[in-house]
Amino acid sequence: MNDFIAASNNILWGSVLIYLLLGAGIFFTIRTRFVQFRRFGLAAKTMMGSRATTSDRQISAFQAFCTSLAARIGTGNMAGVAVAIYLGGPGAIFWMWLIALLGMATSFAENILAQIYKTNNGDGTYRGGPAYYMQKALGQRWMGIAFSISLIIAFGFAFNSVQSNSIAAAFAGYGIAPEYIGIGLALVSGVIIFGGIRSISKVAEMIVPIMALSYLAVALVVVAMNISELPAIFSLVFKSAFGLETAMGGGVGYMVSQAMMQGIKRGLFSNEAGMGSAPNAAATAHSTHPVNQGMMGMLGVFLDTIVVCTATAAIILMSGMLEPGSGLTGVELTQAALSNEIGPLGGHFVALAILLFAFTSIIANYYYGESNLLFIKNSKPLLMVYRLAVLGMVFWGAIGNLPTVWAFADLSMGTMALINIAAILLLSGIVVQVLKDFDEQIADGVIPVFNRKKFPFLDRTMDKDVWQEHNTGDAQPASVEQVKARLATE
């Protein structure tokens, strides 16, 4: 079995997914007319003003955004970046940047589709994601089930055990038995996940901004302390990405391929662009237009990789603690690097950051699995079994040895990405139509609102009880005053 998993991962991550992810990113970048660049400023403004809802029962766009960031910003931003640099060299960071910039357009597309084809829970909240648009827009329920099973295995079980394992490893030097770490994580996680998406989104909204800003502040301190080395670090990253620093030696092609594979693989693990996971959070948001959540999706990829992963890379590369072949990698390398820069406090800070990053990932990952389980079968007993199984995996991850779990998680994640990218490429025309509607309303100087009646195919394939609040039947976009009046009465 291990040989099969290893061989499958080599095929998926050695060639297939690298070309597919890069290709999809380029495709959506061109089809959306470089939306990740031309609408970046508007995305930031949308995020800053997205906390309001018309009802306490609704999930705000900001809460959905924080939930997706909770899953994105986890061990991949610390342990994953360290592994990528250790195995692929500093050049892996360049490929992480590239896949993120292209992946912003891919994430934009999948989040729009999730918003369009969301399902009304009947209690003021929504659920949705790739499985839902595969069934409703493509008419392929089997495809949605295959995706859901892969996601439940990867996020609900494998990645959650990896997150708890990283927490246990980060606290190994404090004399706390892994069993106690596992029990504590399972208990606290249980309290939150049994509260459902409202509980999860509220916790994410409280913790994610604080933990991300704190981590960035420490990284900026390290950069400021080593500002003179910054040009050399950037030069090293670019030279390593293309094998220029080893051009006079052998194995240039191998080093470049390792940098590409590790950068793209760990970049996707971290930012999840195109994987189909973040749309499960995007679908929960109450929004006035699907493109709003699409922009939030691309902003999430940017913050995760271009900002947070780069912060980790800067800490490691400026510390001088990276020594190929030393065996110092993962969380331990990040801790050693920060401790070298700011003293023993650095190791404590990384341990705390890992605790918060990984814990919020656990509760967000759980919800992704819940949404997809409900897609397969809406059953309360089955949901209870899933919740208990997730908590069991959280406990086991803290005490277990996980090389096989890591490999299996990579395989499940790769399978998810294959299925989801195929779906969003087939549905790319819908993304372009909805984006055009949004752009036209922006050009007219009004607040964009989504009217499903303007899109006959969408109106037929969407659920009847979603996107009803803005259906005026008008072909013309509503004015700012009309939008404000309408929102005030909802």
DSSP assignment of 132-158: HHHHHTT--HHHHHHHHHHHIIIIIII
- Does residue 243 sit within a domain? yes
Predicted confidence (pLDDT) per residue in 362-397, tens digit: 888 899 999 999 999 988 999 999 999 999 989 988
Which contacts (CB < 8 Å, 24+ apart) does range 448-455 have?
Answer: 448/288, 448/289, 448/291, 448/292, 448/477, 449/288, 449/289, 449/477, 449/478, 449/483, 449/486, 450/288, 450/289, 450/290
Domain holding 336, by residue range, is 2-443
Averaged pLDDT for residues 128-156:
94
In this structure, of 157-166, 243-252, 352-361, the range with the lowest mean pLDDT score is: 243-252
User: Is residue 489 assigned to a domain?
Assistant: no
Q: What is the DSSP string of 106-121?
A: HHHHHHHHHHHT-EE-
pLDDT per residue as tens digits for the range 217-253: 888 888 888 888 888 888 888 888 887 665 444 456 6
Using alpha carbons, list the distances in angstroms from residue 273 to 109, 218, 417, 420. Answer: 10, 26, 9, 10
In the chain, % of residues over pLDDT 90: 34
Q: Is residue 221 part of a domain?
A: yes
pLDDT, greater one: 184 or 347: 184
Is the predicted pLDDT of residue 71 greater than 90, yes or no? no
Has residue 480 been placed in a domain?
Answer: no
Return the bridge partners of 126, or none: 120
- Stretch 35-56: mean pLDDT, rounded? 82
Pairing of strands 119-120, 126-127: antiparallel
Q: How far is CA 190 from the centre of its chain?
A: 22
Average pLDDT value for the chain: 84
Cα-based angle 7, 72, 432 (whole degrees, multiple of 5): 90
Q: Is residue 451 part of a domain?
A: no
Taking residues 340-356, report their average pLDDT.
83
Domain count, the chain: 1
**Which of 41-45, 133-137, 406-410, 432-436 is predicted with the least confidence, judged by mean pLDDT?**
406-410
Q: Which of 139-153, 172-186, 418-432, 466-480 has the lowest mean pLDDT?
A: 466-480
pTM of the model: 0.87
In a domain, 315, yes or no: yes
On whether residue 363 sits in a domain, the answer given is yes
Compute the distance between CA of residue 220 and CA of residue 236 in angstroms, rounded to an integer.
19
Q: Is residue 131 part of a domain?
A: yes
Give me the helices (H) in 226-343, please: 230-241, 252-271, 279-282, 290-301, 310-319, 330-342
b/e burial code for range 82-94 (CB count within 10 A of at least 16 → b): bbbbbbbbbbbbb
SS (H, E, C) 419-449: HHHHHHHHCHHHHHHHHHHHHHHHHCCCCCC
